[in-house]
Amino acid sequence: MPKFILMKGKRILLIIISILIGALFLYSAYTKAEPIQRFEYTMVEFLHVPWLLAALAARFIVGLEAGIGVLFLINIYGSGKWVIKAAIGLLLVLSAYLVYLWAAFGNNVNCGCFGDAIWMSPSASLIKNGVLLLVMLAVLQWGDGLQFKWARLSVFTVVLVFISLPFILYGFPSGKPSWLKNSGYFLDLKPLYTKEKQEDIPIVDLSKGKHIIAFLSPFCPHCRMAAYKMHLIHQENPAIPFFLVIGGSRDLTDFWKATSAQDIGCARLDATHFFQIVGGEVPFIVWVNNGRVEAKADYTDLDKNVIEDWLKKP
């Protein structure tokens, strides 16, 4: 077989490999970003980093992965193939995190490499990274990529644009709830305390004192994120009076597995009364003071320090 045919076949193979690597990086970035809070909260839970740092790191990593993915997809590697080297460096950093995760928490946890889209243990992800590393080393050794006059500028432009995008698209939580004007309204909690089965009635009187009550549907992915975040905040300060009201009679085994929120007080409420309270809005999170609603909050804006300041007020 003529040498030029072998060379052409090799070049085509490397282009295909590069496209596949790019597609994998893009998919990884997409699954981490939808929703990006899951990626943030995973770092808070397993690395114990501050909430703000987790938000910054999550957006940076998602943007970097997406930028690298696009460049691999179009076969542009930059001067000295620094794009490939950056991808290898990122892969090594993430692999070090996986080793820590495996050692500290065992192999029966979702590493978060593909968000909630694909459940993957640390060991499986390390194998995936090992194969990917070998493939990228081959591209580094033999792949040339596209060469043109503005290639260097194009590389930096793509990377900067994609790193910036998550910060623009997702923003940052304010940490502040929506305070209600005047004195708010009283929350009708009677249906929670008029059940036939005594064991289903909350052991705490939610009409007295301050409570942050989250009305959640087990079907709703945002409700699961809310419960997960409340669980993480509760771990940092168990004195914060969170309470979950779960609508409907669906089995909660999968809900608890996804949120780990069994450490928070919880009660079930039939669908009729549940939707009378929340309307069509879930998660429905209210800050209640002696039965009166003082504020509403989205789960992304729940902030431990803001909550603690509210609890100190008379």
Q: What is the 3-state secondary structure (H, E, C) of the chain?
A: CCHHHHHHHHHHHHHHHHHHHHHHHHHHHHHHHCCHHHHHHHHHHHHCCCHHHHHHHHHHHHHHHHHHHHHHHCCCCCHHHHHHHHHHHHHHHHHHHHHHHHHHHCCCCCCCCCCCCCCCCHHHHHHHHHHHHHHHHHHHHHCCCCCCCCHHHHHHHHHHHHHHHHHHHHCCCCCCCEECCCCCEECCCHHHHCCCCHHHCCCCCCCCCEEEEEEECCCCHHHHHHHHHHHHHHHHCCCCCEEEEEECCCCCHHHHHHHCHHHCEEEEECHHHHHHHHCCCCCEEEEEECCEEEEEECHHHCCHHHHHHHHHCC
* 65 and 102 inside one domain: yes
- If one counts every other C-beta atom within 10 angstroms of the C-beta of residue 231, the result is 20
Q: Tell me, what's the pLDDT at 7?
A: 64
Question: pTM above 0.95?
Answer: no
Among 74-83, 123-132, 283-292, name the one with the lowest average pLDDT.
Answer: 74-83
Q: Are residues 146 and 244 in the same domain?
A: no
Would you say residue 125 has pLDDT above 80? yes
User: Does residue 149 carry a pLDDT above 80?
Assistant: no
Per the structure, how many domains does the chain have?
A: 2
pLDDT exceeds cutoff 60 at 198: no
Are 196 and 249 contained in the same domain?
A: yes
Residues 40, 94 within the same domain: yes
Mean pLDDT (whole number) for 19-42: 92
pLDDT mean over 266-288: 88
Q: Do both 157 and 195 map to the same domain?
A: no
| Both structure tokens of 262 | 């069994």
- Check pLDDT > 80 for residue 151: no
Q: Is the pLDDT at 5 greater than 80, yes or no?
A: no
Whether 164 and 56 map to the same domain: the answer is: yes
Contact of 314 with 242, CB cutoff 8 Å: no
Cis peptide before 314 (omega within 30 of 0): no
Closest by CA to 256, choosing from 274, 244, 273, is: 244
* pLDDT confidence of residue 58: 93
Q: What is the pLDDT of residue 26?
A: 95
279 pLDDT tier (thresholds 50, 70, 90): confident
Percent of the chain with pLDDT over 70: 92
The closest of 7, 24, 243, 234 to 120, measured between CA atoms, is: 24
Q: What is the pLDDT of residue 2?
A: 61
* Domain shared by 214 and 271, yes or no: yes
83 plus 212 within the same structural domain: no
What pLDDT is stored for residue 287 in this prediction? 93
In this predicted structure, what is the pLDDT of residue 196?
A: 61
Band of pLDDT at residue 131, cut at 50, 70 and 90: very high
Give the per-residue pLDDT at 15.
87
Residues 130 and 199 in one domain: no
> pLDDT (tens digit, 9 = 90+) per residue, 227-252?
999 999 999 999 999 999 998 877 88
d(CA 279, CA 294): 18
Residues 145 and 23 in one domain: yes
| Token pair 């300060």 in the structure block, residue | 237
Show Cβ contacts of residue 102 under 8 Å, excluding neighbours closer than 6 positions: 122, 123, 126
Residues 76, 191, single domain; the answer is no
Q: How far apart are CA 203 and CA 201, in angstroms?
A: 6
The predicted pLDDT at position 3 comes to: 60
157, 220: one domain: no
Considering only 25-29, 95-99, 271-275, 306-310, which range has the smallest mean pLDDT?
271-275
What domain range includes position 227?
Answer: 178-312
pLDDT digits (tens, 9 = 90+) for 261-276: 999 999 888 888 888 8
